[in-house]
Structure 1
Amino acid sequence: MFKDLKRVLIGRPLKNEALHGEKFGILWGLPILSSDAISSVAYAGQEILFVLFPAVGMLAFKQLTFISAGIIALLAILTLSYRQTIDSYPNGGGAFIVAKENIGEIAGVVAGSALSIGYILTVAVSIASGVDQVVSAFEVLKDYRVYLCLLIILLMTIGNLRGIKESAAMFSLPTYFFILSILIMLGVGVYKIMNGYQPEPLHVVKDTLQPLSLFLILKAFTNGCAALTGVEAVSNAVPNFKEPSAKNAKTVLVLLSTLVLIVFGGTSIIANYYPTDPENGAMLVQIAGMVFGQNTIFYYIITALSFVILVLAANTAYFGFPNLISVMAKEGYVPRQLSMRGDRLSYSNGIVVLSAIAALLIAVFNANVTSLIGLYAIGVFISFTLSQSGMFLKWVRGKSQNWLIKAIINGFGAFVTLTIVVVIAITKFTQGTWIVVIVIPILIFLMNKVKKHYIAVSKQLRIKPEELPDIGIETDVYKNRVIVPIESINKTSVRALRYAKTISDDVVAFSVQIDEESADKLRERYSMLNTEIPLIIKYSPFRKVVEPLLRFIESTEYDYHKGDMITVILPQFSVKSWWHNVLHNQTRLFLERELLKHKHIVISVMPLQLKDDNYVLTQPKYKDR
């Protein structure tokens, strides 16, 4: 049943050869990887106003334009930097690889951890903000905010598990429609202004107004810097582009920056003429209401597309995070399973991990965008800083062609992004950045533990090439002796004993009993089997199973010699329905776990597949196979 449901939701598995067809070009790559940055128009401006409007009133809109200009200038610096990163590191990995190779392993792990947090929060912030757009228009849904977010995450997960090609077709067109709708809104808005449009004045509480300070501007600037998230996704996803992958990725990066310039910059300017109160709902929806009028078709189109684009912004993370984490897995810093492609050639394990953590954050923070943004920007800007610093060191050390210009670009970018990290850490410390400050060191510790484990395993398993000729496979080093633990005489234990005789002449049946009566009953039934295999029964007053078996193996009674291999065959029946497992003890699992700690013991499971309950009740006679 589960397999059938999986096929319906995700589709049939794809062959490895189909991977080339799963890559995207500029047309599909642009909306997929730019939706995060483009969608920022729906909440970045509003987050700036959240800081400025209560403090300085209508003056906030003029400052919004200046702050947006500063953010766009920073975007230009990052665009130039990441174009250089794509040229230098076309295999993906972005900030993680840049920092690791040019600064050091710790810096790489810090960048990877910070960027991973950024991607997870991209999903949480984008979806929570998207739901905000809908709630602004339909307040009846306000109490269902968290449930709507979780439902969307589930749908996004299924869509991305279907593979790159299908998710691209599914999620790309709405991005283009959103861009077109914003351009129409800007055009109509400018037209109305030129024809004498006058907005209704906003009510400002005079007692709350404060002087405009540098600290206030910096705090608003850091809120708006959420607009820059998603830029690094292009450098992480270079391997997902069709050839020439680096050229296509750089083209997408430039187009992304151009669109953000037009959409984010245009919206920030027009907000001066269509002022909105950030406390009264999403800024974009309010502007659409003033430009097109409330309850008009274009108003609802903008509302719907704002919701869709914010949801699709999360899709940028669904490409960036699995690609980043797969590179880190190949380097040994996270579990290897995260580097494996699933049935549809996507990094399915990374997709599931991303969805699970994002869903948890939404539930914990009650889908509050402002609270989540406090966590959001700092992780991304830490990765920006390390990436820029890494590229700066690369140019200074390598002194390749035009290295000085490249170093100045990356050095200035590193200085600016580091400044923003410090400002975010100070201004938003009480809003949640302290969590990131604590989580990143924990992630670094855990990733280094994982790396250390993989190195230790590799050293213990490695056989040097020069040692291979001296290793013989056909050898008399090992003598195989077999033990079959049995609880009673039934079809599973009989099958295990039969199999044991096919692999060794030295077979013992072993049973642990808790009283004499049970032991006598087992001896009586065992004697009726007409077998030469001896039965050993040990008493366990404390109801232990593994310890008596190990003591028997090591005892003089068993006559174990160093170098002998002990094969323990565990009889096991498998039930038809998953819930049947709850009704049976799992002694085999405990035996396996303990016995696998001993290098001279081999575990073998002898299965017996049971039939459906209804079949057995209607067909009482069925043969052992």
Structure 2
Amino acid sequence: MSLKLGNLLDNLTGKRLKTEEIAQEKFNVFWGLPIMSSDAISSVAYAGEEILWKLIPIIGILSYNYMLYVSLCIVFLMFMLTFSYRQTIDAYPEGGGSYIVAKDNFGRNTGLVAGASLIIDYILTVAVSASASTAAITSAVPALLSHKVAITLILIIFLVIGNLRGIRESSKLFGVPTYLFIFSILFMILWGIIKVHFGGYVPKPVYNVPAVSGEVTWFLLLNAFAAGCTALTGIEAVSNGVPSFKEPSQKHAKTVLLLLSLIVLMVFGGISYLATLYHAVPNSKVTVVAQISHQIFGGNIMFYVIQCTTAIILIMASNTAFTGLPLLLAFIAKDGYAPRQFTKRGKRLSYSNGIIVLGVLSSILVIIFKGDTHFLLPLYAVGVFISFTLSQFGMFTRWIRNKGRGWKYRAVINGVGGLLTFITTIIIGVTRFKHGAWIVFILIPALVYIMLKINEHYRKVAKQLKLSVDEMPKKVNFSEQKRYVIVPIDTLNKSFLKALNYARTISKNIIIFHVSIDGESTNKLLKKWDEYDIDIPIVVKKSSYRSVIGPLVKFIESEEYYAGPEDTVTVVIPQFVITKWWGNILHNQTALLIKTILLKRRNIAIVTIPYIIDEC
């Protein structure tokens, strides 16, 4: 069974790779662009829609005029971030993004705030992107609407498996659909503009545009701006993942960042302009992109191509998080603020533990929020803009402190970038606070506290394990030391005899210990013991409360059986192992329980003697 399971896992995640092959598992520009930028590129599929969700219910038809102004502000901010993060890539080629920048320039706690913000954002990226992908699918096939949570979870599982296959294979698996989306959306934008301005087509909205019912206020426009800033999530991922690029990694990363900005400019700007031409009205059943593509192409194959590629790119957007979060967790774990398991690469040289944890946590979010992007998005972008701000001001501080060639120019770029992202963070925090963003402001301090407690644990363990330079190993007179071996017994069988034979090889002072919880079973054991004429007496202790562990520990610590601090006490535990995985469910696993309790005792060594039981 285990062999079959291993073969299945190999088929799903691929064969093991040697550590030396890691250089072959890195991106070039062509494959790095879709993997590192799919989040930012895909955000255009719902960022424009979120702007309209804020404007249309208040100002109706006027929304399409102001949508362009809001979109231009977002594009300007995106280019500021692009230039700023190009400088981050130059200054920190080892990657790590906001976490490393903030920690290096502001100290540990600020770095942890940036790291916690990014962790939350990456988890939300997967939940939001997978849910948005499902929304694109159900817009094309409405009959699937009632199954949207199940579909979203299946998509996340698909992403986890794809990323466990390693960087190189995941780039090819997820890269091609990203390019298909870019070209199909650009074709839709071009054809949609030609159809109206040169073909004489007069668009008719799929849904009625509400009449004007409110005034255009600064708060309304800021609210729309905050909603549209989801288009900027994912820019951070390129600076986080510089080590994932082939050499020269910095040059490749900066090229990808620039190409990403140009693509987002064309796609986000183009879809925003089409929304104003075709007067798309957001609703929970049909996405804005679906409405626009249906007006442009009708019900022909191109409509389904747009919906299909949109659904794919939205789920591919999650791949940015699957690339960025495991790498971020590896940096944090190396500093001792996250479990060290996150630093270990899996059999395909990816940080598999981070990938699995991301998949599980994002799935929980999807279930809690029922796969609805409109409920998830208020939590989104708050964390990432906090990390943007800390990163930009961190770089500004670096240039002021270190100076160097061109430091004034660089400081201005990062200073302006920091100021803009700080203002945006305030806007997003205020406008989205009562809609769910308050949760993020609780989660970030909670995560920082957890990371500090993890680090405190590691420091305490290291302190207790540390050997001083002048500390000599303690000399022990082994000739005078007593070596006791205790072999617990429940039933006299082959498994126990194997453990007893091992015990004879390490000591002559062997104690067979039996806890009696059933008088009849104990009598049978003693009778059988006498029949086999084993030359070691059994110590029997009755347990009125049916506990096996308690009497054993009490016996070791009692005056009846005394082992001093210089003596060696070894408990040899027989344990039979079932080759089929389900067989272990049918047994009590008493040996595992004994080991778990005794491991906490300083003066006890534990040896497990397995006895393999083959099943047909």
TM-score range, shorter chain: over 0.9
* Counterpart pick for 1:135 among 133, 138, 156: 138
* Counterpart pick for 1:606 among 600, 604, 609: 609
SS class of match (1:317): helix
Alignment correspondent of 1:542: 545
**1:390–1:473 Cα change, 3 Å:** farther
Q: Alpha-carbon deviations, 1:455-507, whole Å to 9, x = none?
A: 1111211224554xx43799639643211011121111111111100111221
* Counterpart pick for 1:426 among 430, 449, 452: 430
Matched residues in 1 for 2:11 and 2:104: separation?
43
Alignment correspondent of 2:451: 447
Matched letter for residue 408 of structure 2: L
Matched residues in 2 for 1:484 and 1:35: separation?
60
Alignment correspondent of 1:619: none
* Number of matched pairs: 609
Alpha-carbon distance, 1:581 to partner: 2.1
**1:125–1:491 Cα change, 3 Å:** same
Alpha-carbon distance, 1:6 to partner: 0.4
SS class of match (1:606): strand
Contact 2:572 2:606 survives alignment (8 Å): yes
Matched residues in 2 for 1:103 and 1:345: separation?
32
Q: Is 1:357 equivalent to 2:391 in the alignment?
A: no
* Counterpart pick for 1:167 among 164, 170, 175: 170
* Counterpart pick for 2:473 among 450, 471, 475: 471
Alignment correspondent of 1:51: 54
Contact 2:61 2:210 survives alignment (8 Å): no
Q: Is 1:80 equivalent to 2:83 in the alignment?
A: yes
Alignment correspondent of 1:621: none
TM-score scaled by length of structure 2:
0.96
**1:480–1:393 Cα change, 3 Å:** farther
Q: Is 1:100 equivalent to 2:103 in the alignment?
A: yes
Matched letter for residue 510 of structure 1: F
**1:176–1:595 Cα change, 3 Å:** same
Alignment correspondent of 1:258: 262
Alignment correspondent of 1:348: 352
Alpha-carbon distance, 1:180 to partner: 1.2
Alignment correspondent of 1:370: 374
Alignment correspondent of 1:337: 341
TM-score scaled by length of structure 1:
0.94
| Structure 2 counterparts to residues 295-306 of structure 1, below 5 A | 295-306=299-310
Matched letter for residue 170 of structure 2: S
Alpha-carbon distance, 1:519 to partner: 3.7
SS class of match (1:58): helix
* Counterpart pick for 2:296 among 291, 301, 304: 291
Q: Alpha-carbon deviations, 1:435-470, whole Å to 9, x = none?
A: 111111111111111111111111211224554xx4
Aligned sequence identity (%): 47
Matched residues in 2 for 1:571 and 1:182: separation?
65
**1:478–1:367 Cα change, 3 Å:** farther
Q: Alpha-carbon deviations, 1:413-434, whole Å to 9, x = none?
A: 2222222222222221222112
Matched letter for residue 134 of structure 1: I
Q: Is 1:559 equivalent to 2:562 in the alignment?
A: yes
Alignment correspondent of 1:308: 312
Q: Alpha-carbon deviations, 1:396-424, whole Å to 9, x = none?
A: 22122222222222222222222222222
Alignment correspondent of 2:240: 236
* Counterpart pick for 1:415 among 414, 419, 437: 419
Alpha-carbon distance, 1:269 to partner: 2.1
Alignment correspondent of 1:620: none
Structure 1 stretch displaced more, 83-92 or 190-199: 190-199
Matched residues in 1 for 2:19 and 2:523: separation?
59
Matched residues in 2 for 1:175 and 1:7: separation?
26
**1:515–1:24 Cα change, 3 Å:** closer
Matched residues in 1 for 2:394 and 2:468: separation?
35
Matched residues in 2 for 1:517 and 1:198: separation?
93
Q: Is 1:268 equivalent to 2:278 in the alignment?
A: no
* Counterpart pick for 1:437 among 441, 462, 483: 441
| Structure 2 counterparts to residues 437-586 of structure 1, below 5 A | 437-465=441-469, 467=471, 470-471=472-473, 476=478, 479-514=482-517, 516-586=519-589
SS class of match (1:251): helix
Matched letter for residue 220 of structure 1: A
Matched residues in 2 for 1:533 and 1:219: separation?
82
Q: Is 1:326 equivalent to 2:330 in the alignment?
A: yes
Structure 1 stretch displaced more, 362-371 or 397-406: 397-406
Matched residues in 1 for 2:481 and 2:591: separation?
25
Matched residues in 2 for 1:515 and 1:34: separation?
66
Alignment correspondent of 1:618: none
Contact 2:209 2:281 survives alignment (8 Å): no
Alpha-carbon distance, 1:145 to partner: 1.0
Alpha-carbon distance, 1:117 to partner: 0.8
Give the alignment's Cα RMSD to 1 decimal.
Answer: 1.7
Alpha-carbon distance, 1:542 to partner: 1.7
